[in-house]
Structure 1
Amino acid sequence: MKTSVPQNFSRRARRLAIVVAGVATIAPIVGHGVAQADTQVRLPGQTVSKKLADGTTLTITRSRESARINPSLGGTPLHRNAWVSGRYDVTSSDKKARFGIGSGYIVGCQLTLGGKSTSQGNATPNMTEGTVTATAQTGGSVTIGPGQAATFFVNDREYQDPFGGRAHDQSIKFSGGEGAVSYTNATMMINGCAGYAQARSFAKVQIMTEHTTQVVWMYGKPFSLG
């Protein structure tokens, strides 16, 4: 749209008239709708050490954990989306030890996924309120209903098994007594939960020394998905 300004206006007045005309042109476009803002969640770091059966000390550090939550990309309360980030550093006092680090999230629908950040050996987190049905899923989405929980793995490595079939491994392997995994804005879609939903990060470290093999879990602080 061409804007004409009377010639008898002062130079300053003509500039103001053009600016106001430009604002009036774009205002109806902005007024079509306001997008719902994402929720940003900063989560605490943590370091824990676990002494294994043979005396080896395993140390796990979680850092840079955060989540960005969108209530509903699908426009219904049954859909939620989260973009999650985090890092795990693992060290062993036995420099000959080998271990695998698996990271992910437990997602619950109408469940309370425990409380504070914890570490446990050969255990699973406490989940209350309702009968829990736990499933393991990989990829970009999990589908759960009321009273259900699902395990979402961030890392999913596909490989060929000895029989030529497809197999999956959710851990990254390290040797030399130290290793780290990190992820940034990993997409997690939650479908099917009509009630409130929670998520909680975890790391699963399976360590193998000359004398023992053990699994150690680390759990982060639960956060709301809306």
Structure 2
Amino acid sequence: MSKFSKLGLRRVAGAVAIASVAALGLAGMGAGDAAAAKLPNGYKKATGIDGEVVQTWRTNESAYAIGTVANNPTARGFVLSGTYTTKASAGVAGNIAVKYIVGCQVDISGVELGLSGALDFVAATANISGSVSFPLAPGQVAIVDVTDKDFDGKPMSLQLSQLSFKLNGCGGYASARSAVKVIAAKGYNTDDGTVNGEGTLIQSTLYGKPFSIN
């Protein structure tokens, strides 16, 4: 079985890696839960050339838009919740990462990770306990890294609860969608900043349904 070593396939974002907890209990909005719009569940199966299998699920995802205290039309946001799970075949390990694609006056229904010209944004640890705030001008798309975690031999779930995002500078239509990215392989490791393993390197991204932030 062949071995491989790939540089740069995993973006190391230590500020958002949650090493010991898979559940994030974040900004509670009280009665706002009743207004949350339930989004469709999702599932994706990826298979390697040597028969390795990686499955990804998106369940109980919901979101609702929020305004600002000053009712500023160029500042708004949304609150989201959801559970994101991956399971790999025996001997396969990897990493699961939850990201959000946010666009201002841009149709993001076909936008994928790695879009040229996208505005990448990594949430800071201090913001994860409450809300993520970032500028987003008309015509821009932001790829927001929320959290990620390595897994090895067992199913792994990341749960978001009442995580709030705040956009500044976005006038007009805005929307967002989730993206769950999984990379996996037999013997997976990230020594020396590279992704190493044996056989097939499996990369799979499960996209959520876009929703409005207006």
Give the TM-score normalised by structure 2.
0.70
Aligned to 1:146: 138
Partner residue of 1:105? 100
For 1:74 and 1:203, the matched residues in 2 are separated by 33
Q: Which whole-Å CA distance do the structure 1 matches of 2:75 and 2:42 have between them?
A: 30
Question: Hey, what does 1:222 align to over in structure 2?
Answer: 210
Contact 2:65 2:78 in 1 (8 A): yes
Task: Measure the CA separation in 1 of the matches of 2:39 and 2:178.
Answer: 10
Correspondence list, 1:46-195, <5 A: 46-93=42-89, 95-114=90-109, 124=112, 133-139=117-123, 140-155=132-147, 171-195=148-172
Displacement of 1:52 in angstroms is 1.8
Distance in 2 (alpha carbons) for counterparts of 1:125 and 1:213 = 18
Following superposition, the deviation at residue 39 of structure 1 comes to 4.9
Distance of 1:50 and 1:216 partners within structure 2:
6
The root-mean-square deviation of aligned C-alpha atoms, in Å, is 2.5
Q: Report the CA distance between 1:50 and its aligned residue.
A: 1.4
The 1-side partners of 2:44 and 2:202 are apart by 16
Considering fraction of residues, name the structure with more strand: 2
CA–CA distance in structure 2, aligned partners of residues 74 and 133 of structure 1 = 31
2:109–2:210 contact (8 Å) kept in structure 1: yes
- Aligned-partner Cα distance in 2 for 1:74–1:215: 43
| Higher mean displacement: 132-141 or 179-188 | 132-141
Alignment of 1:15-26 (within 5 A): none
Q: C-alpha distance in 2, partners of 1:206/1:126?
A: 15
Instruction: Give 1:68 deviation, angstroms.
Output: 2.5
How far does residue 65 in structure 1 lie from its aligned partner after superposition? 0.2
Count of aligned residue pairs for this structure pair: 164
Which 4+ residue blocks in structure 1 deviate beyond 6 angstroms? none
The structure whose RCO (Cα within 8 Å, separation 6+) is larger is 2
- The answer to whether the Cα contact below 8 Å between 2:176 and 2:213 also exists between their aligned partners in 1 is yes
TM-score normalised per structure 1 = 0.66
The alpha-carbon deviation at position 178 of structure 1 amounts to 2.3
- Does residue 1:200 correspond to 2:170, yes or no? no
1:204 shift after superposition: 0.8
Q: Work out whether residues 109 and 148 of structure 1, in 8 Å CA contact, stay in contact via their aligned partners in 2.
A: yes
- In structure 2, what is the Cα distance between the partners aligned to 1:213 and 1:70? 40
Gaps of 5+ in 2: 1-31, 124-131, 187-197
SS state of the match for residue 36, structure 2?
Answer: strand
Q: How does 1:22-33 map to 2 (within 5 A)?
A: none
Q: Hey, what does 1:40 align to over in structure 2?
A: 36
Per-residue CA shift, 1:4-27, capped at 9, x if unaligned?
xxxxxxxxxxxxxxxxxxxxxxxx
CA distance, structure 1, for counterparts of residue 142 and residue 113 of structure 2 = 12
